[in-house]
Amino acid sequence: MARSRMGIRRSFLRAVALLPVLLALGLPGSLSAQAGGGEDSFASDLQEARRLVFRGRLARASMLLKDILASGGPEEPPEERPSPDVSARAAALMARVRLMRGQVAQGLSLVEEFLKKGHPRVDLLLVKGDLLAQVGRYRDAAAAYASASDLDPLNTESRFKRGLMSWTVGARKEARARWKEAVRLGEERKLTRGRDLLFLGKSLERLGRHEEASDLYLEADKLSPLDHDPAVALGNLYFLVYGEVAGYPSGAKEFRRVLRPDKGDPGYVPALLGLFKIYRFNLFRDPSKTESFLDRALARDPGRPETLSLLAGWRIEDRRYAEARTALEKALKRNPNHVPSLSQLYALEWLTRGAKAAAPLRERALSIQPGSPLPDTVLGRHLIHHYRFPEAEPILRRALSLDPEYVPALDALGKVLIYTGRGKEGRKCLEKADSLQEGFVNAPRHNAIEVEKKIEEEYRSWKVGDFVFWMHPSEAPVLLHFLPALYERARASFRARYGYAPKGPIRVEVFHSFGDFSVRTVNFRGFGALGACFGGLITSVSPSAPKLRDKFSWAATAWHEFAHTVTLGLSRHRIPRWFTEGISVYEETVCNPACARHMERDLVDALYNGVLPRVDRFNTWFRGRRVLFAY
C-alpha cells in the first residue's frame, strides 16, 4: 500500500509541475503518458526541478525533489527507485533550495545524511561548503571545498571558494595562491563546463585581470542556460569597473535580465542586492525603488546576513538606529562571524554609545579577519554621511594603516580632505586610488580630481577676516565687493542670536559654472542645489553662472549655507539633516523676508492626507520626489 501511494503521489506532483508546459504545447492528454515510474522519469523530474529553481518557483521544485528523495526507500521495487546518482543530485539541489530560502540547518542535515551514505559527490560537498560559510563556519567550509577539489581536479569552483574562505579569515596570501591555482588549471586544461569557466573568471577578477574575467562570464552564460550566476558576476563586474557611466556596459541591465518574471527569477537575491547597490550609488535613478530591492531579497531569505548588513547601513544613514540594530542582531544570529555585519554594528555603537563602547566589536571583527580595513572604512563612511568629517579622518587613516591600497578607504579619505578644505591632499588620495584601478571608469573620482585641478590652476584665494574666498579672478572685482560683507553680517547676526560664531577660517568656494559646483559638492553633474556646507567649507554657484544669472538669490544662498556652519558647530555635527536644513530655510527669511518659500499650504495638505512621515524618518525625504518638504 505504501508503495502504491508513493507512486500515485509522485505521478500527481509531476503532472502538476508539468501542467503549464503541456497545456502550452496543446498536449493535455500527455499527462497520463508522462506519469509513471522508472529511472527516466526520475531524471526527467530532476531536470524539471532545476528549471523550476531557475525560474524561482522554489515551492514547486521542492515538491518534485521531495518526491524523488522519498522514492528511494528499500520498500520500493528497483524499477520504482531513482538511481543513487539521481538521488544524490536531487539532494544537492534540494540543499541548494534550502540555502536560497535561508533554511541552513535543514540543508546541512540533508547533505550530511547523503554523505554518510557514501555519496562523496562534488555537488554535495560544494553546497555543504556554501551552507557552512553562510553560518560563519569558514574553516569547515574550506575543508568541504578541499574535498571537492580532491574528487574533481578540474573543478575551479572549489578552488575559488577555498580561496575565498582563506580571504575571509585574513589569510590573503593563501587566498591568492588558491586563485592562481584555478587560473593555472584553466591555462593548462581546456575547461568546457559553464561553472568552471565562471569560477575561473572569478579567480581572474580577484587577481585584477578584469577583461579576461568578463570574457569568461559571457562564455559561461552561454554554456549555462539554467544558471543565473554568470549574469550576476558580469553585472557586478560592470558596476565595479564602469560604475553607471553612460556609454559603457550596464550592470543593472544584467541584473534585470536575471530578475525578469517571464524568463528569470524575480526573487534571486544576488541580483536584487546588485540593483540595490546601483540605485544607492546613482543619484539620478528613481530613489523610491531603492529599498524595494532589499524588501524582495528579504522576502526570499529573511535572515541572510549580506542583505541585513546592507539594510542596516541604509538605516544608519537615515539615523534609524533601532531598526539598524534589529537587522544586525538578526544577521549575527545566523552568522556570528559575518565581518560586514560586525563592521556595521561597530559603526552603530560608535555613533550611539561612543568609541570606547564600540572598540570590542572592532576587535572581534579583526579576530575573525586579521588586518581587515573594513570596520574602520565602514565607520568612516558613516561619519562622512553624518557630516562628521574631522572625526572620520583618523578612522580612515587607521584603515589605510592596515591596508595602504584599500581603494574604498582611499576614496573616502580623499572626500574627507576635500570637504575639510584640503583639496590638494584629497586629490593625492584619489589619484592613488585611480592608479590602483587602472582601466576603471570611476566617474565620481575622476570628476573630483578634475575640479580640484581646475581650482588649483584657474582660481585664486582672498582672505577677508575669518573667511577665505576662492573664486575665478574674472569675477573677483564684483563678488569681493559684496560677499565678504554679507558673510560678516551673517556672522554678527548669528553670534547675537545664537550665542555662537564658528571658528575661522571658513573656506568659501564660488564656482564659475554650475557643473563644477555640482561635481565639487557631490562628484556628479546635475545636483539640484545652489550651495552646500560641510562645516568649515561652503560651496556655491556664482551669480553670473551661465543659465543661472538672475535665477536665484545669491545672498539668501550664502546666508542659508552660513547658517549650517552655526548649527553644525553648535551640535558638533550631530544635528539631523532635516533639522539643520529647516533652520537654514527659516534663516533665509531673516536675511530677506522676500525669500520665504510659502509652502505652508502644501505641508498642511500633506499632513491631512497622511503622507508626512514620522519625525525620525524625515531624512528619507531627501531621496524622494517631495525633497522640498525635507527643507
Q: Is residue 7 over pLDDT 60?
A: no
The answer to the question of residue 147 being in a domain is no
- E strands, 408-495, are 460-464, 467-471
Residues 507 and 402 in one domain: no
pLDDT, tens digit, 9 for 90 and up, residues 178-208: 999 999 999 999 999 999 999 999 999 999 9
Q: Which residue has the higher pLDDT, 233 or 581?
A: 233
pLDDT at residue 40, rounded to an integer: 79
pLDDT band at 3 (very low <50, low <70, confident <90, very high): very low
- CATH number of 498's domain: 3.40.30.160
All residues at 6 or more sequence positions from 9 whose CB lies less than 8 Å from its CB, including other chains: 67
Strand, helix or coil for residue 207: coil
Q: Give CA–CA dist 516/514, Å, rounded.
A: 6
pLDDT band at 604 (very low <50, low <70, confident <90, very high): confident
Number of domains in the chain: 2
The answer to the question of residue 255 being in a domain is no
Q: Is residue 316 over pLDDT 70?
A: yes
pLDDT at residue 6, rounded to an integer: 45
Residues 392 and 475 in one domain: no
Domain boundary among 438, 458, 478: 458
Q: Is residue 587 over pLDDT 50?
A: yes
pLDDT at residue 553, rounded to an integer: 82
Q: Give CA–CA dist 222/230, Å, rounded.
A: 9
pLDDT at residue 616, rounded to an integer: 75
pLDDT at residue 1, rounded to an integer: 35
What domain range is 511 assigned to? 459-597
The answer to the question of residue 436 being in a domain is yes
- Mean pLDDT for 29-37 is 39
Using an 8 Å Cβ cutoff, are 434 and 453 in contact?
no
Report the chain's mean pLDDT, rounded to a whole number: 90
The answer to the question of residue 514 being in a domain is yes
Within 10 A of 29 (CB to CB), how many other CB atoms are there?
Answer: 8
Using an 8 Å Cβ cutoff, are 494 and 559 in contact?
no
Angle of the 339-353 helix axis to the 321-334 helix axis, nearest 10: 150
Residues 427 and 466 in one domain: no
pLDDT at residue 324, rounded to an integer: 98
Within its chain, how far is the Cα of 202 from the centroid?
Answer: 18
pLDDT, tens digit, 9 for 90 and up, residues 201-218: 999 999 999 999 999 999
- Nearest 5°: phi and psi at 72? -100, 15
Strand, helix or coil for residue 467: strand
Angle of the 554-570 helix axis to the 476-498 helix axis, nearest 10: 40
Q: Is residue 23 over pLDDT 80?
A: no
Please confirm whether the linkage preceding 505 is cis (ω < 30° from 0).
yes
Domain boundary among 458, 481, 513: 458
Give the 3-state secondary structure of 282-323: CCCCCHHHHHHHHHHHHHHCCCCHHHHHHHHHHHHHCCCHHH
Residues 450 and 463 in one domain: no
Residues 448 and 475 in one domain: no
The answer to the question of residue 154 being in a domain is no
Q: Give CA–CA dist 604/565, Å, rounded.
A: 30
Residues 472 and 447 in one domain: no
Residues 412 and 497 in one domain: no
Q: Is residue 617 over pLDDT 90?
A: no
The answer to the question of residue 584 being in a domain is yes
Looking at residue 614, the DSSP 8-state letter turns out to be P
DSSP notation for 527-563 = -S-SEEE-SSEEEEE-TT-TTTTTSS-HHHHHHHHHH
pLDDT at residue 22, rounded to an integer: 41
Closest CA to 7 of 71, 91, 78, 82: 71
All residues at 6 or more sequence positions from 270 whose CB lies less than 8 Å from its CB, including other chains: 228, 229, 232
Bridge partners of 531?
540
Residues 443 and 465 in one domain: no
Using an 8 Å Cβ cutoff, are 274 and 306 in contact?
no
Residues 479 and 454 in one domain: no
pLDDT, tens digit, 9 for 90 and up, residues 373-407: 999 999 999 999 999 999 999 999 999 999 999 99
Q: Is residue 365 over pLDDT 90?
A: yes
Within its chain, how far is the Cα of 140 from the centroid?
Answer: 27
Within 10 A of 498 (CB to CB), how many other CB atoms are there?
Answer: 14
Amino acid at 587: E
Bridge partners of 461?
470
- CATH number of 415's domain: 1.25.40.10
CA dihedral sign of residues 560, 564, 570, 574: positive
pLDDT at residue 602, rounded to an integer: 76
Residues 382 and 510 in one domain: no
- Mean pLDDT for 107-129 is 94
Amino acid at 484: P
**At which residue does the C-alpha cell 508539468 appear?**
18
Amino acid at 325: R
The answer to the question of residue 43 being in a domain is no
Residues 480 and 501 in one domain: yes
Least confident of 96-105, 275-284, 455-464: 275-284
Residues 473 and 409 in one domain: no
pLDDT at residue 30, rounded to an integer: 36
In this structure, what C-alpha cell is assigned to residue 317?
544613514
Looking at residue 422, the DSSP 8-state letter turns out to be -
pLDDT, tens digit, 9 for 90 and up, residues 327-340: 999 999 999 999 99
Percentage of residues in the chain having pLDDT higher than 70? 89
Q: Give CA–CA dist 291/482, Å, rounded.
A: 45
Residue 46 has, within 13 A of its CA and on its CB side, a CA count of 22
pLDDT, tens digit, 9 for 90 and up, residues 475-518: 999 999 999 999 999 999 999 999 999 988 999 999 999 899 99
Domain boundary among 426, 458, 490: 458
The answer to the question of residue 585 being in a domain is yes
